[in-house]
Amino acid sequence: MTTNPFKYGTVVTGKDFCGRYELLGGIVKHIESAQNIAIIGERRIGKTSLVREAARKTKGLRTLYVDFFGVKSIDAMCKRIIHGITLMEKKETWITKIIKAIPYIRPKLSVDPLTGAISLTFDASTELREESIPGILSLIEKLANEKPLVAVFDEFQAILDINDSHEALGLLRSTIQFQSDVPYIFAGSIRHKMDWVFSSPDSPFFKSAILINIDSLPYFEYSKFLMGKFRTGKRTIRDEFMQKIFEMADNVTGDIQQFCEALWEVTPEGAEIKDTNIADALTLIFARERNAYENYLSLLTDLQQKCLMAITSEGGKNVLSARIAKASGAANPSSVRKAVSRMISLNILFEKGKEVQFANPFFRAWLVRRGG
Ligand SMILES: Nc1ncnc2c1ncn2[C@@H]1O[C@H](COP(=O)(O)OP(=O)(O)OP(=O)(O)O)[C@@H](O)[C@H]1O
Ligand SMILES: [Mg+2]
């Protein structure tokens, strides 16, 4: 039996990476010329995979990967960078060098007794402040001089959630701008935040990187790739069903693949996919994610839940219209606005241009199936 060939929720590279040839070529060139770039795209569209694949395709280069998701302080931000460095420099001798280069943060080397993996731990009382930022970043340059690297700062917009975000950005920028031989890639998903960081004259990072917007993989290319994967398990799927899947997943690269993974699970080898299989796949996704959905709902007030239901039926184009207020029983559009901003901050909804959309299209489908 062939194992499920679909991958979602993880970074995909190599044979699991579909298309984006021109973008990849362009990014590789930028990396080679140490040009800093910023990759902006919606959630689960394929940003991290694109950056990882481009870094992998650039010859003779290693990747320093730092994920800033959820950081709320300069201390956490600095520790994430150091963690990224230790993941790249797995050898003990290197890590000892790192400890020597930044003695003031008093890191300790620890070795996992089971796997032998080395990591750095910090004294809980050591709080890193803004003055540590230049030192930690110069460490990146030092390491790059020993052996070339590309530094990937993922979910970079999270820096804006730090209390002293302006100061943090200023210090990052003032150090990075002198590292002309080190290519930096900044990736992020919350468009208006990333746009502000790189395009607002008030931001320390104003015009400091070439902006690259990424969109969903085009239907023609991605559907062919996915159909090929179904064929490896002798399943066939007609174009009309493929189109339906893209539509249900709001055209989002990762969500489409999540649906295909479930569809594979509910079909036997040799199957020709039918309507009922599509429904079964959705049921499987609901069963797996039900706890998370109920959890989202438990975080919401009655009015917020009603607004959410109104958006499932009326769409998210014009959430401040009287229709949404009426459908949700809100006193006025301004209470709807409050409810919607809370759901945006909880990552249940997100803003796409002037519209709001569900961050997870299957959650919306679940709400619709259960009728609120
Ligand atoms: N080029 C690609 N070819 C095939 N599948 C892809 C590609 N890019 C992304 N995917 C699918 O999308 C999923 C999410 O990809 P990735 O984590 O790179 O996206 P992201 O935009 O960084 O997401 P997040 O917003 O969660 O950080 C992958 O697990 C995979 O299923
Ligand atoms: Mg990502």
Is domain 299-372 annotated with CATH 1.10.10.10?
yes
Measured distance CA(244)–CA(290) in Å, rounded: 22
DSSP conformation letters of 47-104 = HHHHHHHHHHHSTT-EEEEEE-TT--SHHHHHHHHHHHHHHH--SHHHHHHHHHHSGG
pLDDT score, position 44 = 92
Of 150, 142, 207, 198, the residue nearest 29 (C-alpha): 150
**322 three-class SS:** helix
How close is the Cα of 196 to the center of ligand 1, in Å? 24
Residues 6+ apart with CB under 8 A from 359: 43, 347, 348, 349, 350
pLDDT < 70 positions in the chain: 1, 92, 124, 372
How close is the Cα of 253 to the center of ligand 1, in Å? 6
**189 in ligand 1 pocket by Cβ < 6 Å?**
yes
pLDDT score, position 237 = 92
| Identical topology for domains 20-213 and 299-372 | no
CA pseudo-torsion sign 152, 140, 173, 156: positive
Closest atom of ligand 1 relative to the 214 alpha carbon: 21
* Best residue for ligand 1 mutational test, from 23, 44, 245 (most atoms within 8 Å of Cβ): 44
pLDDT score, position 152 = 96
The number of the ligand nearest the C-alpha atom of 190 reads 1
Residue type, 181: D
How close is the Cα of 47 to the center of ligand 2, in Å? 5
pLDDT score, position 214 = 94
pLDDT score, position 244 = 95
Measured distance CA(7)–CA(226) in Å, rounded: 11
Fold adopted by 20-213: Rossmann fold (3.40.50)
pLDDT score, position 286 = 96
pLDDT score, position 50 = 96
Of 4, 1, 2, the residue nearest 284 (C-alpha): 4
Residues 6+ apart with CB under 8 A from 192: 351
pLDDT score, position 136 = 86
pLDDT score, position 354 = 82
Q: Where exactly are the structural domains of the chain? A: 20-213, 217-289, 299-372
pLDDT score, position 372 = 60
Query: Which residue minimizes the CA distance to atom 29 of ligand 1?
Result: 8
Please give the model's pTM, rounded to 2 decimal places: 0.89
Residue type, 112: D
